[in-house]
Structure 1
Amino acid sequence: MYSEVFISLRAQDLGYGRSLFERLLLCLQDNQDWCPISLNVQCRMHHAICSFPSAHFYNNMLLTDLALEHSKSQFSGPPYIVFDVKDSKEQCDEICSFQNPVEAQLAIITAEYLLQCGVLSVAVLTPYTAQCVCINRILRSSSRDRSCRIEVGKVEGFQGREKDAVVLSCVHANGEGSSTNIRPLDASQLNCTGFLHDKHQLNVALTRAKMSLIILGHLNTLMKFPLWNALITDARQRKVVVSTTEATIKRNIEMIFQERNPNGKSFGEGKHRDGKYHRCLVAKRKEGPPT
Protein backbone atom coordinates (compact mmCIF):
# COMPACT_ATOMS: atom_id res chain seq x y z
CA MET A 1 0.00 0.00 0.00
CA TYR A 2 1.40 3.38 -0.96
CA SER A 3 0.13 6.87 -0.36
CA GLU A 4 -1.73 9.21 -2.67
CA VAL A 5 0.28 10.92 -5.39
CA PHE A 6 1.09 14.51 -4.45
CA ILE A 7 2.11 17.14 -6.98
CA SER A 8 3.17 19.54 -4.23
CA LEU A 9 6.68 18.83 -2.97
CA ARG A 10 5.89 21.04 0.04
CA ALA A 11 3.04 18.68 1.01
CA GLN A 12 5.40 15.73 0.76
CA ASP A 13 7.96 17.51 2.95
CA LEU A 14 5.27 17.98 5.61
CA GLY A 15 4.54 14.26 5.64
CA TYR A 16 1.20 14.28 3.81
CA GLY A 17 2.56 11.71 1.35
CA ARG A 18 2.90 9.10 4.09
CA SER A 19 0.49 6.18 3.84
CA LEU A 20 -1.79 5.01 6.65
CA PHE A 21 0.26 1.82 6.97
CA GLU A 22 3.49 3.82 7.36
CA ARG A 23 1.88 5.97 10.05
CA LEU A 24 0.81 2.86 11.94
CA LEU A 25 4.34 1.45 11.84
CA LEU A 26 5.78 4.73 13.08
CA CYS A 27 3.34 4.74 15.99
CA LEU A 28 4.38 1.21 16.96
CA GLN A 29 8.12 1.39 16.35
CA ASP A 30 8.91 2.32 19.96
CA ASN A 31 6.38 -0.10 21.46
CA GLN A 32 8.16 -3.31 22.43
CA ASP A 33 4.84 -5.13 22.80
CA TRP A 34 4.02 -4.64 19.11
CA CYS A 35 6.95 -5.69 16.98
CA PRO A 36 6.17 -5.73 13.23
CA ILE A 37 7.09 -8.87 11.32
CA SER A 38 8.45 -8.47 7.79
CA LEU A 39 7.97 -11.05 5.05
CA ASN A 40 11.34 -11.29 3.33
CA VAL A 41 10.85 -14.00 0.68
CA GLN A 42 9.43 -12.78 -2.60
CA CYS A 43 7.89 -15.25 -5.02
CA ARG A 44 7.21 -13.01 -8.01
CA MET A 45 10.29 -11.43 -9.58
CA HIS A 46 13.36 -12.77 -11.28
CA HIS A 47 16.28 -12.11 -8.92
CA ALA A 48 17.82 -9.62 -11.38
CA ILE A 49 14.67 -7.50 -11.13
CA CYS A 50 14.54 -7.87 -7.35
CA SER A 51 18.11 -6.70 -6.74
CA PHE A 52 17.65 -2.91 -6.76
CA PRO A 53 14.30 -2.80 -4.89
CA SER A 54 15.73 -5.09 -2.22
CA ALA A 55 18.75 -2.84 -1.71
CA HIS A 56 16.92 0.51 -1.74
CA PHE A 57 13.43 -0.21 -0.41
CA TYR A 58 13.79 -3.31 1.78
CA ASN A 59 17.21 -2.91 3.44
CA ASN A 60 18.70 -5.80 1.43
CA MET A 61 16.31 -8.21 3.12
CA LEU A 62 14.39 -9.57 0.12
CA LEU A 63 15.24 -13.09 -0.97
CA THR A 64 14.02 -14.91 -4.06
CA ASP A 65 12.31 -18.28 -3.91
CA LEU A 66 14.41 -20.97 -5.59
CA ALA A 67 11.27 -22.49 -7.08
CA LEU A 68 10.95 -19.45 -9.35
CA GLU A 69 14.30 -19.95 -11.04
CA HIS A 70 13.38 -23.01 -13.09
CA SER A 71 10.17 -21.53 -14.49
CA LYS A 72 11.85 -18.25 -15.40
CA SER A 73 14.84 -20.01 -16.99
CA GLN A 74 12.54 -20.97 -19.90
CA PHE A 75 12.23 -17.30 -20.89
CA SER A 76 14.70 -16.41 -23.65
CA GLY A 77 14.75 -12.65 -23.17
CA PRO A 78 16.71 -10.43 -20.76
CA PRO A 79 15.37 -10.13 -17.19
CA TYR A 80 16.42 -6.51 -16.71
CA ILE A 81 17.51 -3.82 -19.18
CA VAL A 82 17.66 0.00 -18.99
CA PHE A 83 17.51 1.68 -22.39
CA ASP A 84 18.99 5.18 -22.60
CA VAL A 85 16.82 6.75 -25.32
CA LYS A 86 19.10 9.47 -26.59
CA ASP A 87 16.73 11.21 -29.01
CA SER A 88 13.57 11.26 -26.92
CA LYS A 89 11.92 14.51 -25.87
CA GLU A 90 9.05 15.18 -23.49
CA GLN A 91 5.97 17.27 -24.20
CA CYS A 92 3.90 18.81 -21.41
CA ASP A 93 0.24 19.81 -21.69
CA GLU A 94 -1.65 22.54 -19.83
CA ILE A 95 -2.53 20.26 -16.91
CA CYS A 96 1.07 19.22 -16.38
CA SER A 97 0.69 15.72 -17.84
CA PHE A 98 3.67 14.60 -19.89
CA GLN A 99 4.02 12.53 -23.02
CA ASN A 100 6.99 11.33 -25.05
CA PRO A 101 6.02 10.05 -28.53
CA VAL A 102 9.42 8.51 -29.21
CA GLU A 103 9.30 6.47 -25.99
CA ALA A 104 5.70 5.51 -26.72
CA GLN A 105 6.69 4.03 -30.07
CA LEU A 106 9.70 2.22 -28.60
CA ALA A 107 7.60 0.83 -25.76
CA ILE A 108 5.28 -0.91 -28.25
CA ILE A 109 8.21 -2.30 -30.23
CA THR A 110 9.81 -3.64 -27.05
CA ALA A 111 6.55 -5.16 -25.81
CA GLU A 112 6.08 -6.99 -29.11
CA TYR A 113 9.58 -8.46 -28.90
CA LEU A 114 8.87 -9.65 -25.38
CA LEU A 115 5.78 -11.49 -26.63
CA GLN A 116 7.90 -13.11 -29.33
CA CYS A 117 10.21 -14.39 -26.60
CA GLY A 118 7.39 -16.38 -25.05
CA VAL A 119 5.83 -14.24 -22.32
CA LEU A 120 2.06 -14.50 -22.09
CA SER A 121 1.34 -11.01 -20.76
CA VAL A 122 3.02 -7.62 -21.07
CA ALA A 123 2.20 -4.31 -19.42
CA VAL A 124 3.48 -0.94 -20.62
CA LEU A 125 3.47 1.32 -17.56
CA THR A 126 4.00 5.04 -17.32
CA PRO A 127 3.35 7.66 -14.63
CA TYR A 128 1.32 10.01 -16.84
CA THR A 129 -2.15 9.92 -18.38
CA ALA A 130 -1.02 11.74 -21.52
CA GLN A 131 1.61 9.07 -22.20
CA CYS A 132 -1.00 6.32 -21.72
CA VAL A 133 -3.17 8.03 -24.32
CA CYS A 134 -0.22 8.35 -26.70
CA ILE A 135 0.76 4.67 -26.33
CA ASN A 136 -2.82 3.45 -26.72
CA ARG A 137 -3.20 5.52 -29.88
CA ILE A 138 -0.15 3.81 -31.39
CA LEU A 139 -1.36 0.42 -30.19
CA ARG A 140 -4.82 0.86 -31.74
CA SER A 141 -3.25 1.74 -35.09
CA SER A 142 -1.40 -1.57 -35.11
CA SER A 143 -3.08 -4.47 -36.88
CA ARG A 144 -0.86 -7.08 -35.22
CA ASP A 145 -2.55 -9.85 -33.26
CA ARG A 146 -0.16 -9.30 -30.34
CA SER A 147 -1.66 -5.90 -29.57
CA CYS A 148 -4.52 -7.41 -27.56
CA ARG A 149 -1.96 -9.00 -25.19
CA ILE A 150 -0.33 -5.65 -24.33
CA GLU A 151 -1.95 -3.71 -21.49
CA VAL A 152 -1.20 -0.01 -21.05
CA GLY A 153 -1.65 1.62 -17.66
CA LYS A 154 -0.44 4.13 -15.11
CA VAL A 155 1.98 3.05 -12.41
CA GLU A 156 -0.31 4.12 -9.57
CA GLY A 157 -3.10 1.91 -10.90
CA PHE A 158 -0.95 -1.22 -11.00
CA GLN A 159 -0.49 -1.59 -7.24
CA GLY A 160 -1.04 -5.24 -6.29
CA ARG A 161 -0.89 -6.51 -9.88
CA GLU A 162 1.75 -8.35 -11.90
CA LYS A 163 2.63 -9.28 -15.48
CA ASP A 164 5.13 -11.65 -17.04
CA ALA A 165 6.96 -8.63 -18.47
CA VAL A 166 6.78 -4.89 -17.92
CA VAL A 167 8.01 -2.03 -20.09
CA LEU A 168 8.35 1.17 -18.05
CA SER A 169 8.26 4.43 -20.00
CA CYS A 170 9.75 7.18 -17.81
CA VAL A 171 8.72 9.93 -20.27
CA HIS A 172 10.92 12.76 -18.98
CA ALA A 173 13.54 14.05 -21.41
CA ASN A 174 14.03 17.78 -21.12
CA GLY A 175 16.99 18.07 -23.48
CA GLU A 176 17.75 17.58 -27.15
CA GLY A 177 19.36 14.18 -26.71
CA SER A 178 22.76 15.53 -25.73
CA SER A 179 24.35 15.67 -22.29
CA THR A 180 25.64 19.16 -23.12
CA ASN A 181 22.20 20.54 -23.92
CA ILE A 182 20.07 19.72 -20.87
CA ARG A 183 17.99 22.52 -19.39
CA PRO A 184 17.95 22.83 -15.59
CA LEU A 185 14.55 22.12 -14.06
CA ASP A 186 12.65 25.24 -12.96
CA ALA A 187 10.21 25.41 -10.04
CA SER A 188 7.12 24.64 -12.13
CA GLN A 189 8.77 21.57 -13.65
CA LEU A 190 9.81 20.30 -10.22
CA ASN A 191 6.18 20.44 -9.10
CA CYS A 192 5.16 18.42 -12.20
CA THR A 193 7.74 15.67 -11.75
CA GLY A 194 6.36 14.08 -8.60
CA PHE A 195 6.91 10.56 -9.97
CA LEU A 196 10.66 11.12 -10.13
CA HIS A 197 10.73 12.07 -6.43
CA ASP A 198 8.32 9.38 -5.21
CA LYS A 199 10.05 6.23 -3.96
CA HIS A 200 6.69 4.51 -3.41
CA GLN A 201 5.66 4.85 -7.05
CA LEU A 202 9.12 3.79 -8.21
CA ASN A 203 8.95 0.74 -5.96
CA VAL A 204 5.59 -0.23 -7.48
CA ALA A 205 6.88 0.33 -11.02
CA LEU A 206 9.97 -1.85 -10.48
CA THR A 207 8.21 -4.76 -8.78
CA ARG A 208 5.32 -5.60 -11.16
CA ALA A 209 7.30 -7.80 -13.58
CA LYS A 210 7.84 -11.53 -13.07
CA MET A 211 10.26 -12.42 -15.88
CA SER A 212 11.47 -9.21 -17.52
CA LEU A 213 11.59 -5.49 -16.72
CA ILE A 214 12.60 -3.10 -19.51
CA ILE A 215 13.03 0.59 -18.61
CA LEU A 216 12.97 3.31 -21.28
CA GLY A 217 14.30 6.72 -20.27
CA HIS A 218 16.52 9.68 -21.04
CA LEU A 219 19.21 8.99 -18.48
CA ASN A 220 20.83 12.44 -18.44
CA THR A 221 17.47 13.85 -17.35
CA LEU A 222 16.62 11.09 -14.88
CA MET A 223 20.01 11.27 -13.15
CA LYS A 224 19.15 14.73 -11.82
CA PHE A 225 16.93 12.98 -9.28
CA PRO A 226 18.73 11.14 -6.43
CA LEU A 227 16.76 7.90 -6.47
CA TRP A 228 16.95 7.56 -10.24
CA ASN A 229 20.63 8.44 -10.09
CA ALA A 230 21.11 5.47 -7.78
CA LEU A 231 19.10 3.17 -10.08
CA ILE A 232 21.06 4.19 -13.18
CA THR A 233 24.41 3.94 -11.37
CA ASP A 234 23.46 0.45 -10.22
CA ALA A 235 22.38 -0.54 -13.76
CA ARG A 236 25.66 0.68 -15.23
CA GLN A 237 27.64 -1.26 -12.67
CA ARG A 238 25.66 -4.36 -13.62
CA LYS A 239 26.24 -3.59 -17.33
CA VAL A 240 22.56 -3.58 -18.26
CA VAL A 241 22.39 -0.03 -19.71
CA VAL A 242 22.06 0.15 -23.49
CA SER A 243 22.14 3.40 -25.47
CA THR A 244 19.57 3.54 -28.25
CA THR A 245 17.60 5.85 -30.54
CA GLU A 246 14.36 5.63 -32.46
CA ALA A 247 16.33 4.51 -35.51
CA THR A 248 18.41 1.82 -33.77
CA ILE A 249 16.03 0.35 -31.20
CA LYS A 250 15.03 -2.69 -33.28
CA ARG A 251 18.66 -3.62 -33.93
CA ASN A 252 19.54 -3.11 -30.25
CA ILE A 253 16.64 -5.28 -29.10
CA GLU A 254 17.45 -8.06 -31.55
CA MET A 255 21.06 -8.11 -30.38
CA ILE A 256 20.17 -8.16 -26.68
CA PHE A 257 17.40 -10.73 -26.96
CA GLN A 258 19.67 -13.10 -28.86
CA GLU A 259 22.82 -12.59 -26.80
CA ARG A 260 23.95 -15.32 -24.41
CA ASN A 261 26.88 -15.48 -22.04
CA PRO A 262 29.02 -18.66 -21.72
CA ASN A 263 26.65 -20.00 -19.03
CA GLY A 264 23.69 -19.78 -21.37
CA LYS A 265 22.03 -16.99 -19.39
CA SER A 266 20.36 -13.97 -20.85
CA PHE A 267 22.04 -10.59 -21.19
CA GLY A 268 22.21 -8.81 -17.84
CA GLU A 269 21.36 -11.84 -15.74
CA GLY A 270 23.44 -12.04 -12.58
CA LYS A 271 23.50 -13.75 -9.22
CA HIS A 272 21.84 -12.58 -6.06
CA ARG A 273 24.06 -10.22 -4.10
CA ASP A 274 25.33 -13.02 -1.83
CA GLY A 275 25.23 -15.74 -4.48
CA LYS A 276 22.46 -17.66 -2.72
CA TYR A 277 18.73 -18.11 -3.09
CA HIS A 278 16.24 -18.72 -0.33
CA ARG A 279 13.57 -21.38 -0.91
CA CYS A 280 10.09 -20.26 0.06
CA LEU A 281 8.66 -22.42 2.85
CA VAL A 282 5.10 -22.02 1.60
CA ALA A 283 5.26 -23.57 -1.86
CA LYS A 284 1.86 -22.34 -3.05
CA ARG A 285 2.32 -18.69 -2.11
CA LYS A 286 2.14 -16.59 -5.26
CA GLU A 287 3.46 -13.22 -4.16
CA GLY A 288 6.13 -11.86 -1.90
CA PRO A 289 6.28 -8.60 0.06
CA PRO A 290 5.97 -6.16 -2.87
CA THR A 291 2.27 -5.68 -3.59
Structure 2
Amino acid sequence: MNWISEWALPKIKTLFGAPREVPENLWHKCPACEQMIFHRDLERNLHVCTHCGHHMRVGARTRMDYTLDEGWQRIELPKAPQDPLRFRDQRRYVERLREAQAKAGQEDAVVVAHGSIEGNRVVAAAFEFSFLGGSMGAGVGEALVTAARLAVLQDAPLIVFTASGGARMQEGAISLMQMPRTVIATRMVKEAGLPFIVVLCDPTTGGVTASFAMLGDIQIAEPGAMIGFAGARVIEQTVREKLPEGFQRAEYLLEHGILDLVVKRGEMRATLARLIGLLRTPERVVAPPPAEPVAEPLPALPAPEGPAVPA
Protein backbone atom coordinates (compact mmCIF):
# COMPACT_ATOMS: atom_id res chain seq x y z
CA MET A 1 0.00 0.00 0.00
CA ASN A 2 1.38 3.39 -1.02
CA TRP A 3 0.91 5.79 1.88
CA ILE A 4 1.37 8.83 -0.36
CA SER A 5 -1.59 8.02 -2.61
CA GLU A 6 -3.71 6.49 0.15
CA TRP A 7 -3.14 8.96 2.97
CA ALA A 8 -1.12 12.04 2.00
CA LEU A 9 -2.96 13.07 -1.20
CA PRO A 10 -6.46 12.84 0.32
CA LYS A 11 -5.28 14.99 3.24
CA ILE A 12 -3.84 17.60 0.84
CA LYS A 13 -7.05 17.65 -1.26
CA THR A 14 -9.11 18.08 1.87
CA LEU A 15 -6.90 20.90 3.04
CA PHE A 16 -6.89 22.90 -0.19
CA GLY A 17 -10.24 21.82 -1.55
CA ALA A 18 -11.13 20.28 -4.90
CA PRO A 19 -9.48 21.86 -7.95
CA ARG A 20 -11.72 24.34 -9.71
CA GLU A 21 -12.41 23.98 -13.41
CA VAL A 22 -11.09 26.86 -15.49
CA PRO A 23 -13.38 27.94 -18.37
CA GLU A 24 -11.87 27.69 -21.82
CA ASN A 25 -13.20 31.02 -23.10
CA LEU A 26 -11.42 33.37 -20.71
CA TRP A 27 -8.98 34.51 -23.41
CA HIS A 28 -9.63 35.39 -27.04
CA LYS A 29 -7.12 35.57 -29.86
CA CYS A 30 -7.35 38.55 -32.20
CA PRO A 31 -7.56 37.26 -35.80
CA ALA A 32 -5.63 40.30 -37.06
CA CYS A 33 -2.66 40.75 -34.70
CA GLU A 34 -2.93 37.33 -32.95
CA GLN A 35 -2.63 38.92 -29.51
CA MET A 36 -4.48 37.32 -26.59
CA ILE A 37 -7.20 39.46 -24.95
CA PHE A 38 -8.92 38.80 -21.65
CA HIS A 39 -12.65 38.27 -22.20
CA ARG A 40 -13.73 41.05 -19.84
CA ASP A 41 -11.43 43.56 -21.53
CA LEU A 42 -12.80 42.49 -24.91
CA GLU A 43 -16.41 42.90 -23.80
CA ARG A 44 -15.63 46.25 -22.21
CA ASN A 45 -14.12 47.40 -25.52
CA LEU A 46 -17.20 46.23 -27.52
CA HIS A 47 -15.30 43.31 -29.11
CA VAL A 48 -12.67 45.60 -30.63
CA CYS A 49 -9.06 44.48 -30.21
CA THR A 50 -7.32 46.50 -27.53
CA HIS A 51 -3.97 46.08 -29.33
CA CYS A 52 -4.63 46.78 -33.03
CA GLY A 53 -8.24 48.08 -33.11
CA HIS A 54 -9.53 45.19 -35.23
CA HIS A 55 -13.34 45.03 -35.15
CA MET A 56 -14.39 41.46 -34.45
CA ARG A 57 -17.70 40.05 -35.59
CA VAL A 58 -20.55 40.19 -33.08
CA GLY A 59 -23.99 38.65 -33.03
CA ALA A 60 -27.22 40.41 -33.88
CA ARG A 61 -28.51 40.73 -30.31
CA THR A 62 -25.10 41.85 -29.05
CA ARG A 63 -25.11 44.57 -31.70
CA MET A 64 -28.55 45.69 -30.55
CA ASP A 65 -27.26 45.92 -26.98
CA TYR A 66 -24.28 47.99 -28.13
CA THR A 67 -26.39 50.38 -30.23
CA LEU A 68 -29.89 50.75 -28.78
CA ASP A 69 -30.87 52.21 -25.44
CA GLU A 70 -31.60 49.80 -22.62
CA GLY A 71 -35.04 48.24 -22.84
CA TRP A 72 -35.25 47.59 -26.59
CA GLN A 73 -37.82 45.02 -27.60
CA ARG A 74 -37.45 42.25 -30.13
CA ILE A 75 -40.21 41.88 -32.72
CA GLU A 76 -41.75 38.48 -33.43
CA LEU A 77 -41.47 37.87 -37.17
CA PRO A 78 -43.90 36.01 -39.43
CA LYS A 79 -42.78 32.48 -40.22
CA ALA A 80 -41.59 31.81 -43.76
CA PRO A 81 -41.92 28.40 -45.42
CA GLN A 82 -38.96 26.18 -44.56
CA ASP A 83 -37.21 24.13 -47.25
CA PRO A 84 -39.65 25.04 -50.05
CA LEU A 85 -37.54 23.17 -52.63
CA ARG A 86 -36.76 20.14 -50.43
CA PHE A 87 -33.10 20.82 -51.09
CA ARG A 88 -30.44 18.29 -50.25
CA ASP A 89 -26.68 18.22 -50.76
CA GLN A 90 -24.54 16.25 -48.30
CA ARG A 91 -27.29 16.90 -45.75
CA ARG A 92 -30.91 17.95 -45.95
CA TYR A 93 -31.41 21.70 -45.88
CA VAL A 94 -34.09 21.42 -43.20
CA GLU A 95 -31.54 19.71 -40.92
CA ARG A 96 -29.02 22.51 -41.44
CA LEU A 97 -31.76 25.04 -40.75
CA ARG A 98 -32.84 23.40 -37.49
CA GLU A 99 -29.24 23.13 -36.33
CA ALA A 100 -28.65 26.84 -37.04
CA GLN A 101 -31.86 27.77 -35.22
CA ALA A 102 -30.86 25.78 -32.13
CA LYS A 103 -27.35 27.25 -32.14
CA ALA A 104 -28.36 30.88 -32.68
CA GLY A 105 -31.60 30.83 -30.69
CA GLN A 106 -33.59 32.53 -33.45
CA GLU A 107 -35.73 31.52 -36.40
CA ASP A 108 -33.61 33.04 -39.16
CA ALA A 109 -30.60 35.22 -39.90
CA VAL A 110 -32.15 38.60 -38.96
CA VAL A 111 -33.29 40.09 -35.65
CA VAL A 112 -35.75 43.00 -35.77
CA ALA A 113 -36.31 45.28 -32.79
CA HIS A 114 -37.74 48.66 -31.91
CA GLY A 115 -36.37 51.00 -29.31
CA SER A 116 -34.41 54.23 -29.19
CA ILE A 117 -30.90 55.60 -29.64
CA GLU A 118 -30.16 58.35 -27.12
CA GLY A 119 -33.89 59.05 -26.95
CA ASN A 120 -34.49 58.97 -30.72
CA ARG A 121 -37.10 56.33 -31.60
CA VAL A 122 -35.88 53.80 -34.19
CA VAL A 123 -36.61 50.42 -35.76
CA ALA A 124 -33.49 48.30 -36.25
CA ALA A 125 -32.68 45.05 -38.05
CA ALA A 126 -29.39 43.20 -37.56
CA PHE A 127 -27.98 40.19 -39.42
CA GLU A 128 -26.62 37.17 -37.54
CA PHE A 129 -23.63 35.95 -39.59
CA SER A 130 -23.33 32.73 -37.59
CA PHE A 131 -26.76 31.70 -38.91
CA LEU A 132 -25.82 30.05 -42.23
CA GLY A 133 -23.47 32.91 -43.04
CA GLY A 134 -26.22 35.51 -42.67
CA SER A 135 -27.59 34.35 -46.01
CA MET A 136 -30.79 35.92 -47.31
CA GLY A 137 -33.68 33.53 -47.81
CA ALA A 138 -37.43 33.96 -47.63
CA GLY A 139 -37.31 34.43 -43.86
CA VAL A 140 -34.80 37.28 -44.11
CA GLY A 141 -36.82 38.99 -46.83
CA GLU A 142 -39.96 38.72 -44.69
CA ALA A 143 -38.07 40.15 -41.71
CA LEU A 144 -36.90 43.22 -43.64
CA VAL A 145 -40.36 43.85 -45.07
CA THR A 146 -41.78 43.60 -41.54
CA ALA A 147 -39.15 46.03 -40.26
CA ALA A 148 -40.01 48.53 -43.01
CA ARG A 149 -43.74 48.32 -42.27
CA LEU A 150 -43.10 48.77 -38.55
CA ALA A 151 -40.93 51.83 -39.21
CA VAL A 152 -43.70 53.42 -41.28
CA LEU A 153 -46.30 52.51 -38.64
CA GLN A 154 -44.23 54.00 -35.80
CA ASP A 155 -43.00 56.95 -37.88
CA ALA A 156 -39.43 56.00 -37.00
CA PRO A 157 -36.15 55.72 -38.96
CA LEU A 158 -35.05 52.27 -40.11
CA ILE A 159 -31.47 51.17 -39.41
CA VAL A 160 -30.14 47.91 -40.84
CA PHE A 161 -26.85 46.30 -39.78
CA THR A 162 -25.74 43.98 -42.57
CA ALA A 163 -23.39 41.00 -42.24
CA SER A 164 -24.10 38.44 -44.92
CA GLY A 165 -22.61 36.16 -47.52
CA GLY A 166 -25.45 36.88 -49.94
CA ALA A 167 -28.49 34.97 -51.17
CA ARG A 168 -29.25 31.55 -49.69
CA MET A 169 -28.80 29.19 -52.60
CA GLN A 170 -30.61 26.31 -50.88
CA GLU A 171 -33.80 28.22 -51.66
CA GLY A 172 -32.94 28.83 -55.31
CA ALA A 173 -34.98 31.45 -57.14
CA ILE A 174 -36.99 32.14 -53.97
CA SER A 175 -33.86 33.56 -52.34
CA LEU A 176 -33.12 35.69 -55.41
CA MET A 177 -36.65 37.13 -55.28
CA GLN A 178 -35.82 38.61 -51.86
CA MET A 179 -33.58 41.14 -53.60
CA PRO A 180 -36.47 43.06 -55.26
CA ARG A 181 -38.63 42.51 -52.17
CA THR A 182 -36.10 44.23 -49.93
CA VAL A 183 -35.70 47.05 -52.45
CA ILE A 184 -39.46 47.61 -52.34
CA ALA A 185 -39.26 47.63 -48.54
CA THR A 186 -36.71 50.47 -48.65
CA ARG A 187 -38.99 52.41 -50.99
CA MET A 188 -41.81 52.12 -48.45
CA VAL A 189 -39.62 53.79 -45.83
CA LYS A 190 -38.37 56.54 -48.14
CA GLU A 191 -41.81 57.35 -49.54
CA ALA A 192 -42.98 57.86 -45.96
CA GLY A 193 -40.27 60.52 -45.58
CA LEU A 194 -38.30 58.47 -43.03
CA PRO A 195 -34.51 58.03 -42.93
CA PHE A 196 -33.11 54.68 -44.05
CA ILE A 197 -29.59 54.14 -42.68
CA VAL A 198 -27.42 51.13 -43.54
CA VAL A 199 -24.44 50.08 -41.41
CA LEU A 200 -22.28 47.66 -43.40
CA CYS A 201 -20.41 45.25 -41.14
CA ASP A 202 -17.87 42.57 -41.91
CA PRO A 203 -18.64 40.90 -44.26
CA THR A 204 -21.37 42.26 -46.54
CA THR A 205 -21.33 40.53 -49.92
CA GLY A 206 -23.41 38.93 -52.64
CA GLY A 207 -27.10 39.60 -53.13
CA VAL A 208 -27.38 41.69 -49.97
CA THR A 209 -24.83 44.17 -51.35
CA ALA A 210 -26.56 44.05 -54.74
CA SER A 211 -29.94 45.00 -53.28
CA PHE A 212 -31.04 47.04 -50.27
CA ALA A 213 -27.61 47.39 -48.61
CA MET A 214 -26.51 50.04 -51.12
CA LEU A 215 -29.74 52.05 -51.06
CA GLY A 216 -29.43 53.81 -47.73
CA ASP A 217 -29.86 57.53 -47.35
CA ILE A 218 -26.66 57.32 -45.29
CA GLN A 219 -24.10 54.56 -45.92
CA ILE A 220 -21.89 53.77 -42.90
CA ALA A 221 -19.34 51.00 -42.40
CA GLU A 222 -17.22 49.71 -39.56
CA PRO A 223 -13.43 49.96 -39.98
CA GLY A 224 -11.92 47.17 -42.05
CA ALA A 225 -15.27 45.70 -43.10
CA MET A 226 -15.18 43.66 -46.30
CA ILE A 227 -17.86 44.93 -48.67
CA GLY A 228 -18.41 43.69 -52.21
CA PHE A 229 -20.44 41.52 -54.54
CA ALA A 230 -18.15 38.73 -55.76
CA GLY A 231 -14.86 37.52 -54.37
CA ALA A 232 -11.61 39.25 -55.31
CA ARG A 233 -10.27 36.21 -57.17
CA VAL A 234 -13.45 35.87 -59.23
CA ILE A 235 -13.31 39.55 -60.21
CA GLU A 236 -9.64 39.34 -61.17
CA GLN A 237 -10.30 36.31 -63.35
CA THR A 238 -13.22 38.11 -65.00
CA VAL A 239 -11.57 41.46 -65.77
CA ARG A 240 -8.10 39.87 -66.16
CA GLU A 241 -6.44 42.66 -64.23
CA LYS A 242 -4.63 42.93 -60.93
CA LEU A 243 -6.90 44.81 -58.54
CA PRO A 244 -5.69 47.29 -55.90
CA GLU A 245 -4.88 45.99 -52.44
CA GLY A 246 -7.87 46.22 -50.11
CA PHE A 247 -10.26 47.40 -52.83
CA GLN A 248 -13.16 45.69 -51.02
CA ARG A 249 -12.45 47.24 -47.63
CA ALA A 250 -14.43 50.05 -46.04
CA GLU A 251 -11.60 52.59 -46.16
CA TYR A 252 -11.06 52.12 -49.91
CA LEU A 253 -14.78 52.44 -50.61
CA LEU A 254 -14.94 55.61 -48.53
CA GLU A 255 -12.14 57.18 -50.57
CA HIS A 256 -13.99 56.36 -53.81
CA GLY A 257 -17.40 57.70 -52.77
CA ILE A 258 -19.27 54.44 -52.15
CA LEU A 259 -19.62 55.14 -48.43
CA ASP A 260 -20.46 58.28 -46.50
CA LEU A 261 -18.75 57.41 -43.21
CA VAL A 262 -16.48 54.84 -41.61
CA VAL A 263 -17.28 54.85 -37.91
CA LYS A 264 -15.65 52.94 -35.06
CA ARG A 265 -17.95 50.71 -33.03
CA GLY A 266 -17.46 52.76 -29.89
CA GLU A 267 -18.64 55.88 -31.72
CA MET A 268 -21.47 54.27 -33.69
CA ARG A 269 -24.25 54.95 -31.19
CA ALA A 270 -23.47 58.66 -30.86
CA THR A 271 -23.04 59.01 -34.63
CA LEU A 272 -26.40 57.40 -35.38
CA ALA A 273 -28.12 59.58 -32.77
CA ARG A 274 -26.59 62.71 -34.32
CA LEU A 275 -27.61 61.68 -37.85
CA ILE A 276 -31.17 60.87 -36.79
CA GLY A 277 -31.41 64.22 -35.05
CA LEU A 278 -30.26 66.01 -38.19
CA LEU A 279 -32.54 64.06 -40.53
CA ARG A 280 -35.63 64.17 -38.33
CA THR A 281 -35.48 67.77 -37.08
CA PRO A 282 -37.97 69.84 -39.10
CA GLU A 283 -36.51 72.64 -41.14
CA ARG A 284 -36.51 75.97 -39.42
CA VAL A 285 -38.63 78.63 -41.03
CA VAL A 286 -36.27 81.50 -41.70
CA ALA A 287 -38.02 84.84 -41.30
CA PRO A 288 -37.42 87.30 -44.14
CA PRO A 289 -35.04 90.12 -43.30
CA PRO A 290 -36.76 93.33 -42.20
CA ALA A 291 -37.49 95.71 -45.05
CA GLU A 292 -35.31 98.77 -45.18
CA PRO A 293 -37.27 101.96 -44.38
CA VAL A 294 -38.15 103.88 -47.51
CA ALA A 295 -37.28 107.54 -47.31
CA GLU A 296 -40.33 109.80 -47.78
CA PRO A 297 -40.01 112.29 -50.63
CA LEU A 298 -39.23 115.85 -49.61
CA PRO A 299 -42.14 118.32 -49.89
CA ALA A 300 -42.10 120.55 -52.98
CA LEU A 301 -40.82 124.09 -52.42
CA PRO A 302 -43.38 126.91 -52.97
CA ALA A 303 -43.02 128.90 -56.19
CA PRO A 304 -41.29 132.32 -55.77
CA GLU A 305 -43.57 135.39 -55.75
CA GLY A 306 -43.19 138.12 -58.39
CA PRO A 307 -43.74 138.68 -62.12
CA ALA A 308 -43.24 135.70 -64.35
CA VAL A 309 -40.05 135.70 -66.34
CA PRO A 310 -40.76 135.57 -70.10
CA ALA A 311 -39.42 132.46 -71.75
Same fold (TM over 0.5): no
- Report the TM-score, using the length of structure 2 for normalisation: 0.27
Higher relative contact order (CA 8 A, sep 6+): 1
- Report the TM-score, using the length of structure 1 for normalisation: 0.28
